[in-house]
A and B are shown apart, each in its own frame.
Chain A
Amino acid sequence: MKTLRLAIFIVVALVHVSVPASVMWNRERTLRHGRVWKFRTAPVDPVDAIRGRYIALRFAAEIAPPQVEVSDRSIKPDTLVYVSLKEDADGFAQIDQISETVLRGDNIVTAETGYWAQNAPRVHFPFDRYWVTEKNAAAAERAYIENSREQKQNAYVTVRVRDGDATLEQLYIDGQPLPEYLRAHPPK
Chain B
Amino acid sequence: MEIRDLWVRYGSSAALRGISLDVLENEILGVIGPSNSGKSSLLLALNRMVDRIPGASVEGRILLDRQDVAAIADVQDLRRRIGIVYALPIPLPMSIRDNVLFGARLKRRLDRQEAQAVVEGSLRAAFLWDEVKDRLDLSALRLSGGQQQRLCIARTLAVRPEVILFDEPCSGLDPISTAKVEEAMGELKSRHTLVLVTNNTKQAARVADRTAFLLMGELLEVDRTEKIFTNPSDPRTEDFVTGRFG
Tell whether A and B belong to one assembly: no
